[in-house]
Structure 1
Amino acid sequence: MGKAKKLSRNALLRVSALRGSRAQAVTGPSTPPSAQEQAIPLIKKLSSVDPKDRALAASAIANLIENPVIRRALLKEKVVQTILEQSLTDSSEEVIVEGFGVLRNLALEEGYDVCVFLWRKDILAIVLSYLGKIQTNLAYLKDSNAAQKTLLFNLIENLLSLLTSLGGSSDDIYESIVSRLPDLPIFVLDILANPTIPDFVKVIAAENLYVLSEANAAYIDKIQCSGFITDGKLGVAVKLYLSGVEYNILETSQTASIDLLDVVRSVNEGLQAIDINKAIEVMQPTTIDGVVQPTIYDDNYRSAQDCFVAVQVGLELLTEISEALVMRSQHGRQNRQTEPDEDHDNQDDMDILEDENEMVVEYETKDGVDSPVVALLLDSVLPVVAEFVQFKELRSRALQALNNMTWTFNSFVPHWGNSKARTLWSCILRLLLSSDDLDLESRTGSAGVLWACGKLKPKFVSEISVNDVRRLIREFQQGGETEESLEFKVRIVGLLGVLALPHVDIDVTKEISIFLLTLVLSTQHKPPEIVIEALNAIYDIFADISYPFDDEIFVKGEFLNHLMKIQPQVKQMAKNIDRRKNLQLRTKADEVVVNLQRFVAYKIKERRGLLNKQ
């Protein structure tokens, strides 16, 4: 199945998607002199005798960090060390707050490298000391003036966001936070329950709770013991994060009283409540005379960014939930399986199968389970998620969610409706075939959705043309050789396999079949995942001699001879997979070897039977 993998914690970092990926941003020539000229004076001002100058310098640095060239210059001038050694120990509270803002933004933009450096410099000890001070100040919040409150709220925001980035960057740092800051979830819950704290701080607090409570039994226990926040006055972005926390509780705790249906309904309502058009418009970079201006992190921008990231979280939650439903269904089915028949076990592997459905092929689940959650996903959530595909900034996340949802529908509701599937098919196929600027994640998600829809074997798939197939094959050939591109290629092969149906134009089936055979004949030079999927597709396409294209393509193309000759290479491919390192792949490879033997024997008998009738 082409399910999307669960996103890691560091996938949630709040780097603006409107500016492109981090990898694209930081590659290039060495730091230009102009960037150095901007960076050096600012770092020098961090040591000014005037606290206002120090604060302004730190604030300017925090805003300039989104510029990759200037950021590189700042890092080269050891801005992190300066902030740690000077700004965080400054006598001015404003300088301290802005210093944490610099570290927060650097952690967001640079990710792992900066986070590990900070961790090794024992940033957690510094954070822990300031959390204590914050709790003291919160106790006297009513007596504070407006300026003091603003500083306190900004400090909370910067600290919690920094911890979120740190925890999302590496498992080691994550575990260190959990062990050294065991009461952090209680602190965050207090922030969320405090009516005097503004919403922008609560969004960051909820995000922190969501990210750090993932598979974290210790935090989950504290959250449950402390009481969970269900205040209806919380903003929509906060509520989406808290839905994520509820799902984390549901996945981790054995005593959770949370209903998954309520979680899905809450996520769907949250996604519908957010005006994503407005959020993206606010986040668009400002350009003056062709020069992109630094982002102004005012309340309007922060609110838009909060909504944008909350939508990403909502889409990720739906991706995870959909996958979990399928996994639970499969687990339940395995538990219900009866003991195998002894006579069947004693049959030789080379026995000829009379029915291709008896082959050891991984077919989709078709339990027809009546699940209210699946019904909600199909009837209400699907159209909401599909709307987000139109936004380039959210497209890959939306397609990952749609991919897992469509495979879930195939498992629970095999006939989930031609109208819904047709609409989705048409939209995603047009996107994949006509968009030249799709990133790899979006192409992979698109291929997965189309593959799942095609598995239903609907009539509308016959509308595919030979040119469409050739475009898909070109997509495969131009996919690259990375691990990420491998998943895309596997999905393209799976998609092509379901397009070669009996009611499809024979030229389409021929084009696909020849391509699949070419992949199989290159077994020694192709990843086993691709060869396995190509063989499984061939088994399905030519499963029945009555199909109109069997003689024209399989017989005249001498597919049987080619498959017989390739058997030793396929066996060797399976043997080369270390089952200790990749048991799942080795199991699939062993199955495809057995099925190849059986398929060849089956097709030989099939042809003999036809000749005898003649």
Structure 2
Amino acid sequence: MGKSQKKRSMRRHNPMRVPDSHLPKGLESAESSSTKKEAIMPIIQKMESPDGAERKWACVAVSNLIQNDPSTRRLLQGKNVVGSLITRLSDSEEEVWIEAAGALRNLCIDGGYDICAEMYNKNILAPLTAFVPKISTALSQFLESPKTAPENAQKVVYEFADNVITILWCLSETSNKALSAINQINLIPFLMSFLASRDKLPISTVTAAAQSLYVLTDDNQAAIDEVRSNAAYNSCLLEIVRSDELAQNGKGKDVSKDRFAMLKVLCCGITGNVSPPPPHSAASTLDVNKDFVLPLLQPVISSVSLDEAAQQVQELVTRQENDPPEIEKLSLKNTPKSDHKSPTQLDLERLEDRLRTVQLALEILTGTCATLPDPVIDTANDDNDDDDELEDENTDMDDDTNEDDMALDDAVPPPTNAKSSSVALLPALVQPLLALIRPTSLSFPPPSSPSAHPPTTSALSAIHISAFECLNNIFLSLSTSPSAELAANEDAGRAVWAEIWASLSKVGLDIARGQERKQEIWEIAVGVLWGIGNIWKGKLVPNEEQVQILINICDSSTDAQVRVKCIGTLECLAQHPDSIDANRVIASYLLSVLPTATAPSTKGTEPTIQALSALIDIYSDERLPYDVNFRNGKFNERLMESVDGVRKAVRAIDRRKERDLKLRGEEVRDNLVAFIKYRRGLRF
């Protein structure tokens, strides 16, 4: 049972802010689906114009054209707009390279990994690296002598810094190669300087710096060590997390509550990334999770109603339809700025920011819950050679076996001590998370009716997935640190189980092109169901439709871990004492997973091991009502037929590559032999 870790794929720019997986591949399809294809060639031509005004116009036009328009973005990509914009970063005219940076930033956020990878491969880091010291110098001058430059000039520098930082943030998530290159730029002092001067700078620029720091300190030891070793950095982060509001002076006067909430959440995430704090620092005596993460993030994930947000977006989109499109305003005489937005667009962005803050909080909580107790596997006696370990494989099946020595119940490993009360976690986190997994009208629009606002759809689906991942970690932690009080609360277990399935029924199983995130939800959800099933094993009444869905997912998935989770969940359902028919259906399916002496399992080695473990666990007590299925179905004979195939499968596991699986396989193999003997020795 694996926990969901923080994943780079869950960041803002990937999944794409404006998803395009529903579109057919290729330039021809992009051209046929773009409503702005006539504007493409003039833009590409003017990008190379000797006239600086035309080059600036072209950069601005790119930003305006790609807004919520994946097909036009693809068409521009096909015309090498990325290469052209990178060239413009070295333009002789300041206004051109400023607008080029804005266009590249928007492409990063809207386009995801593919565009970021293209930028990296086309050496965007060279001009970006040169910009960092220039921005630092300008920033120092403005902070030391604000009157030395007009406010307009300061605004330009701050917006440019925002664009450069955001591009670096997106690139750092593209690949380990890009991250390593960015580590060489020495960005940490640069980024921390924005946080240190947060009360004198625009909140958007400070937040961009915090977002970049959050990404750079995520499982990146070089950045973690640099932040952790600097007491001033730690104090600064601590101050932001603890503060109730940003100083209302200077650039802080226009700070919105939502923007500041995002900044606090990001700093909370950075603090978690670099924990534990260095000795003798202000935070060294604090428990980061207990004192910061949970108290700050619990209110954040409860702060928004997704249904209300979706309704507000629908209303704003309807209002926006009356606004003239930006492309019609484009002209050399009246060039709009790349950051020009109508009041309706700003309202939509504020809503999206609020949703992205919730998503970020969920991502951090998922990482926090991943640090809760894991099962401990005893590997003290694993150093024997394979030949020695398999000496007992030729044991005569008729030998006497002491049933008291049998390890029959190996479904849930021995628990460790929980750091927090497991019961207390339920009301604090689970209920808000259950609200966040429920799809809205904008979460998964059908391909025949594209989203009214793709960025909101992307944010909503990301929230659903992050909430499921967080639930997965919570219930896994609870199941590996059993609480008698929790297990006894059967009504709570059934209620949570019903809530999960109610949300999944709204997600649906009709997964068309462009709806791949539905598939992702189902694959995470089976882990949640397994965790719940383990806590309330034997207390959940199996539903025929739900059982069949789990079987279908197990059959259709090519991911061994998904299959294991499905089998684990089915095992828990099969142990409801009075559900004899459901038990028979599940057991028959689990038996079908097993190999024979001549044919390996079609489901793979790890699912096979899980199915065997499940069958042993289900039928370890012959006094249960459903045991009649084992006897009448002659399951023991089928298990005997699988022994040779199981031995072959376990022998084939490479200890050097899959050590834990090898140990698990050997344990289950031995349990199978002992279990068959035990069952054969029973007299009814």
The question of a shared fold, defined as TM-score above 0.5 by the shorter chain, is answered with yes
| Structure-2 change in CA distance of 1:278 and 1:548 (3 Å) | closer
The separation in 1 between residues aligned to 2:346 and 2:42, in whole angstroms, is 28
Q: Return the offset for 1:313.
A: 2.1
Q: 2:457: which partner in 1?
A: none
AA at the equivalent of 1:566: S
The separation in 2 between residues aligned to 1:118 and 1:502, in whole angstroms, is 55
AA at the equivalent of 2:605: P
CA RMSD of aligned residues (A): 3.4
The separation in 1 between residues aligned to 2:481 and 2:60, in whole angstroms, is 53
Equivalent residues of 2:575, 2:618 under 8 A apart: yes
- Secondary structure at the residue paired with 1:372? coil
The separation in 1 between residues aligned to 2:591 and 2:405, in whole angstroms, is 19
The separation in 1 between residues aligned to 2:325 and 2:588, in whole angstroms, is 53
The separation in 1 between residues aligned to 2:170 and 2:3, in whole angstroms, is 23
The separation in 1 between residues aligned to 2:160 and 2:139, in whole angstroms, is 12
- The 5 A counterparts of 1:428-443 are 428-433=500-505, 435-437=508-510, 439-443=518-522
TM-score (normalised: structure 2): 0.78
Q: Return the offset for 1:401.
A: 0.6
| Structure-2 change in CA distance of 1:427 and 1:75 (3 Å) | same
Higher helix share: 1
2:203 to 199, 204, 215: 199
Q: 1:411: which partner in 2?
A: 480
2:155 to 144, 150, 164: 150
Equivalent residues of 2:606, 2:661 under 8 A apart: yes
Q: Deviations over 1:561-584 (max 9, x none)?
A: 111111111111122222222222
| Structure-2 change in CA distance of 1:198 and 1:356 (3 Å) | farther
Equivalent residues of 2:406, 2:671 under 8 A apart: no
Question: Please, which runs of 5 or more residues in structure 2 have no aligned partner?
Answer: 247-259, 327-338, 383-388, 444-459, 512-517
1:249 to 274, 286, 297: 274
- The 5 A counterparts of 1:281-320 are 286=317, 299-320=346-367
Q: 2:290: which partner in 1?
A: 261
The separation in 2 between residues aligned to 1:512 and 1:526, in whole angstroms, is 16
Q: Deviations over 1:235-264 (max 9, x none)?
A: 111111111111111169688724121222
Equivalent residues of 2:537, 2:576 under 8 A apart: no
1:422 to 468, 491, 494: 494
- The 5 A counterparts of 1:4-83 are 4-14=3-13, 19-20=18-19, 22-25=20-23, 27=25, 30-32=29-31, 36-65=37-66, 66-83=68-85
Q: 1:452: which partner in 2?
A: 531
Moved more, 555-564 or 448-457: 448-457
Q: Deviations over 1:2-25 (max 9, x none)?
A: x343233243133576744x5444
AA at the equivalent of 2:679: K
- The 5 A counterparts of 1:275-354 are 286=317, 299-327=346-374, 330=375, 352-354=401-403
Q: 2:415: which partner in 1?
A: 366
Moved more, 535-544 or 256-265: 256-265
| Structure-2 change in CA distance of 1:51 and 1:419 (3 Å) | farther
Q: Deviations over 1:529-588 (max 9, x none)?
A: 2211111111111111111222x3112111111111111111111222222222222322
Q: 2:563: which partner in 1?
A: 489
Q: Deviations over 1:154-196 (max 9, x none)?
A: 2122111111111111111111111x222x1222121123212
Equivalent residues of 1:93, 1:151 under 8 A apart: no
2:429 to 381, 391, 403: 381
Q: Return the offset for 1:61.
A: 0.8
| Structure-2 change in CA distance of 1:153 and 1:518 (3 Å) | same
User: Is 1:475 matched with 2:553?
Assistant: yes
AA at the equivalent of 2:501: L
The separation in 2 between residues aligned to 1:18 and 1:114, in whole angstroms, is 13
Equivalent residues of 1:279, 1:304 under 8 A apart: yes
The separation in 2 between residues aligned to 1:160 and 1:465, in whole angstroms, is 51
Moved more, 50-59 or 501-510: 50-59
AA at the equivalent of 1:57: A
AA at the equivalent of 2:172: G
Q: Return the offset for 1:56.
A: 3.3
AA at the equivalent of 2:561: E
- Secondary structure at the residue paired with 1:6? coil
Equivalent residues of 1:167, 1:173 under 8 A apart: yes
2:650 to 574, 580, 583: 574
Equivalent residues of 2:3, 2:476 under 8 A apart: no
Q: Deviations over 1:107-157 (max 9, x none)?
A: 334444433443344322311211111112212332333432332222122
User: Is 1:511 matched with 2:585?
Assistant: yes
AA at the equivalent of 1:157: D
The separation in 2 between residues aligned to 1:302 and 1:53, in whole angstroms, is 29
Moved more, 258-267 or 396-405: 258-267
Q: 2:262: which partner in 1?
A: 237
Q: Return the offset for 1:201.
A: 1.9
Q: Deviations over 1:339-364 (max 9, x none)?
A: 9xxxxx99967663514862482524
Equivalent residues of 1:578, 1:586 under 8 A apart: yes
- Secondary structure at the residue paired with 1:543? coil
Equivalent residues of 2:434, 2:500 under 8 A apart: no
Q: Return the offset for 1:604.
A: 1.3
Q: Deviations over 1:203-249 (max 9, x none)?
A: 22111111101233332343241323223225111111111111111
Q: Return the offset for 1:80.
A: 1.6
Equivalent residues of 1:206, 1:241 under 8 A apart: yes
AA at the equivalent of 1:32: E
The separation in 2 between residues aligned to 1:448 and 1:88, in whole angstroms, is 47
Equivalent residues of 1:220, 1:252 under 8 A apart: no
The separation in 2 between residues aligned to 1:112 and 1:600, in whole angstroms, is 52
Moved more, 531-540 or 34-43: 34-43
Q: Return the offset for 1:99.
A: 0.9
Q: 1:222: which partner in 2?
A: 226
- Secondary structure at the residue paired with 1:447? helix
The separation in 2 between residues aligned to 1:181 and 1:578, in whole angstroms, is 41
Q: Return the offset for 1:36.
A: 4.5
User: Is 1:537 matched with 2:614?
Assistant: yes
The separation in 2 between residues aligned to 1:19 and 1:120, in whole angstroms, is 23
Q: 1:342: which partner in 2?
A: none
2:669 to 557, 570, 593: 593
- Secondary structure at the residue paired with 2:676? helix
TM-score (normalised: structure 1): 0.86
Equivalent residues of 2:301, 2:358 under 8 A apart: yes
Equivalent residues of 1:63, 1:296 under 8 A apart: no
AA at the equivalent of 1:451: W
Q: Return the offset for 1:59.
A: 2.2
Q: Deviations over 1:416-464 (max 9, x none)?
A: 24344332111112333563357122112222222111112356512x3
The separation in 2 between residues aligned to 1:540 and 1:88, in whole angstroms, is 64
